[in-house]
Amino acid sequence: MKKTAIVLFLGLCLVFGALGNAFATLVTATVTADNHYAIYYGTDTNLTYVGTNESGSAGSSGTYNWSAAETWPTFDVPVGQYIYVVGWSDNSVAQGWKGQFVTSYGTLYSDSSWEYLLSSTTINDLGDGSQPPTAEQVKSTISSANPSWRTGVNTDAYSGWGTVDGLESSPAQWIWGTTMYPGSGEGEYQVFRHSAPTPIPAAAWLLGSGLLGLVGIRRRIKS
């Protein structure tokens, strides 16, 4: 009995310990911002940079930075890790970001389910021509934030944004950690993450259940 329990435990460890790579969730992100954003994934202590939108005050397509959303090549997010978005503005007129993330287990939208923190330092107040913060810089911001992750993002969108190309039919909302209008650099850059990490996929649970079943059959045969 004891030996069987040990075998079961080790087997489950092998199954679920391999989830980070074998069962990584595929994510396709479509995001826009007034004015700039960068996407990362990982944990508060281990982040991977995905990409950022155009620098400068004009959009890569459309008139403004926020006129048309960018859709990023699909990337893998291991089980238990988060999707992060860092946002900053030109401190003029309005600020916020909007996006959706199509994953293997459903679609995440920018809405009140996201958490945020404010960096609130002169060094972190980026502008139109700024490069996105590195993963190490974002990790440092997270570790030094006080208080850390907050709930209750602002969803009171600025009416001037209108319809965003690429997100026309999406239920995603504009969100920000502080006021969206008028222009402000308060708390920038701001860091956002979805409140729920990447879940264990159903296929992994099936593997675990199958392992339990095999152990049960073996015990019945022996008895």
In this structure, are 129 and 77 located in the same domain? Answer: yes
Instruction: Give residues with Cβ within 8 angstroms of 73, minimum separation 6.
Output: 28
In this structure, are 101 and 163 located in the same domain? Answer: yes
Mean of pLDDT values over 63-75: 97
In this structure, are 91 and 136 located in the same domain? Answer: yes
Question: pTM of the full predicted structure?
Answer: 0.84
Higher-pLDDT residue of 129, 173: 173
In this structure, are 3 and 53 located in the same domain? Answer: no
Higher-pLDDT residue of 5, 167: 167
What does pLDDT average to over the chain?
85
In this structure, are 115 and 125 located in the same domain? Answer: yes
In this structure, are 107 and 137 located in the same domain? Answer: yes
In this structure, are 92 and 182 located in the same domain? Answer: yes
Mean of pLDDT values over 50-65: 92
H helices present in 132-201, as ranges = 135-144
- Residue 67 scores a pLDDT above 70: yes
- 11 is in which domain, residue-wise? 1-23+203-223
In this structure, are 6 and 104 located in the same domain? Answer: no
In this structure, are 180 and 81 located in the same domain? Answer: yes
- Residue 177 scores a pLDDT above 50: yes
Mean of pLDDT values over 159-179: 97
Q: Name the domain count of the chain.
A: 2
H/E run at residue 25: strand 25-34
